[in-house]
Structure 1
Amino acid sequence: MQVSEYVHNAMENLVDDVIISRHLHEHYSTDFIDDLVCISLNRLPSRYICFDVDLLSHFGEDEYQELNEQVRQTVSEVEQYLLNDPRQHRSRNR
């Protein structure tokens, strides 16, 4: 059985939205952003949907806001984790 091409984890879009709204992609390398996305998604619960509009229809406004806050907090924590990780030798893009 093949899963539909439309099925995806809604958290991916929410993480992307946070990265874009905070302009993180303008300040860090592609490798850093890739790590930030992967680690953030691994720390967040999966919320699979077929279409982005399903996110609001499956979850109430309060739960949607809680998800957004959880994503913002997680991205911030992972950003600090990566910046403080002595194994990382990534430079800022500026």
Structure 2
Amino acid sequence: MSLRDAIDNFYERLVLDAIDATRQEADTTDYLTDVMCVALNRLPNRYYRHSIDMMFYLADEELKSMKEKSLAEVMAARDFVREHQRE
């Protein structure tokens, strides 16, 4: 295992969950990938090594806040990407 594979950003999982919750039939993979990039660039990094550690040490209110921020940024990113699509 390389060092690159040893850590993850917790927000990636939350943003993916928010994208799944807001997915529309017309969404393409390219569009959703751009949405994910824009949303993650607007959120702080929250790195962890083991997901069980993240879930154990994360307070319920903090997790709720992180989920809300992720959803808000995905919604904003959807608008941003839609408005800036190349033709």
Q: TM-score range by the shorter chain?
A: 0.7 to 0.9
In the alignment, structure 1 segments of 5+ residues that lack a partner are none
The residue identity in structure 1 corresponding to 2:58 is: F
Moved over 3 A (4+): none
What's the counterpart of residue 20 of structure 2? Answer: 20
Q: CA deviation at 1:4?
A: 5.7
Q: CA deviation at 1:58?
A: 2.5
Q: Does 2:83 correspond to 1:67?
A: no
What's the counterpart of residue 36 of structure 2? Answer: 37
Hey, which of these two has a bigger chunk of helix by percent? 2
In the alignment, structure 2 segments of 5+ residues that lack a partner are none
Report how many residues are paired: 86
Alignment CA distance shift 1:81-1:4 (3 Å): closer
Alignment CA distance shift 1:79-1:46 (3 Å): same
Q: Does 2:48 correspond to 1:49?
A: yes
Instruction: Report the secondary structure of 2:3's partner residue.
Output: coil
Residues of 2 paired with 1:22 and 1:71: CA distance? 12
Superposition RMSD on alpha carbons, in Å? 1.8
